[in-house]
Amino acid sequence: MNHRDSEKKKIKIEFGPEVNAAGESDIPMPGADAGGDAENRFGTASAGDASLEAWKKLQDDNKDLLQTLQRRQADFDNYRRQSEQRLAKEHARGIETLAEKLLPVLDGFDRALAAYNDPAVQEYAKGVELIRKQLWDVLAKQGIERIDALGKPFNPHLHHAIESVETNEYPDGTVTQVLQQGYIFHDRVLRPAMVKVSSHSESAASGQG
């Protein structure tokens, strides 16, 4: 082998691995990998933005749903309270109506007991009084109250005066006699007491002065 052949072989050994059979270089073009990395970075950034937007939308939807549920709960609570109040009023009105119809029965018992003062009928009177007490206990448990009128100052909201009596035994404008009992149901007057009211005459008043 001469010197020229040795140089050719040496050149081939040094540069052969860098050129393929088609004569194309295996060395990547400048910027090729960088371009691919940039594309990956841009793609990842876009995906991240989309995920962030979806997360924000999910939060907004969740907030709207929570507010809707709270409004629905408040509406339901209001409806329940109104229903309970309406039922309570209807229940009270039913008791009130029944009591108004039973008050004359109590009046009948009162008259019957007042009429039988003869000792011969005391046992009969005790039976009538027991029945009246049973009836009154039923009404009292439902909230019915009797108006305490005798000896009290006349109150037009509680008393119905049918007669004015001139007397100095009571202060002027005092209930001297109850002719028919009055009753209250939960601060509502079912029936005012029918009463007589004291009135001082001018001569009596001047005599006292």
Contacts with 182 (C-beta within 8 Å, 6 or more apart), sequence order: 146, 147, 149, 158, 159, 160, 189, 190, 191, 192, 193, 194
Q: What is the pTM of this model?
A: 0.54
**Which residue has tokens 């006349």?**
154
pLDDT score for 161: 95
CA distances from 133 to 22, 60, 105, 136 (A): 124, 68, 12, 5
What are the per-10-residue average pLDDT scores of the chain (209 residues)? 49 46 46 48 64 84 87 86 84 84 87 71 79 89 92 94 91 94 91 93 50
pLDDT score for 145: 93
